[in-house]
Amino acid sequence: MADNGLIRTEAGQERIQSLAFVIGVGVCVLFCGLSVVLKVAESGHSQEIELDTRINPNNAPLGSLVRLPGIGIGRAEAIVGYREDFGRRNGNERAFETIDDLQKVRGIGPKTVQNVSEWLKFE
């Protein structure tokens, strides 16, 4: 009979240890989940593109153009292609004198020009 009581006590301790383990893991998961939610919430405040300086579309590399709002790889390639073609045809002249000149590039209209205007310089 004493052995039977000892078995019940060991079984009870194992249940308590298992419960404590489950609670511990649950608390860890909760804190990790909360941490992720807070990080996502913080990053939600700065979803806009942040550039260190304004860029000149007359000489900006493809990687810089892609960072502009509304300019994907296709439009960035179109800007570079237009600029290079313009340079071959017109010598040293700049392809883009003003923001409106960007509308000469296929796929770029007034809305895109408005979205990128604050990020560009023409010098």
pLDDT band at 11 (very low <50, low <70, confident <90, very high): confident
The predicted structure's pLDDT at residue 99: 94
Same domain assignment for residues 68 and 100: yes
Same domain assignment for residues 33 and 67: no
Domain membership of residue 18 as a residue range? 2-46
Residue 51 has pLDDT above 70, yes or no: no
Task: Give pTM, 2 decimals.
Answer: 0.57
The predicted structure's pLDDT at residue 47: 45
pLDDT, tens digit, 9 for 90 and up, residues 60-86: 999 999 999 999 999 999 999 999 999
Same domain assignment for residues 42 and 66: no
Would 106 be classed as within a structural domain? yes
| Positive or negative: CA dihedral 48, 50, 51, 53 | positive
Number of structural domains the chain divides into = 2
Mean pLDDT of the chain, nearest integer: 81
> CA distances (Å), 121 to each of 63, 98, 105, 117, 118, in order?
16, 8, 17, 8, 8
Q: Return d(Cα 84, Cα 78) in angstroms, integer.
A: 10
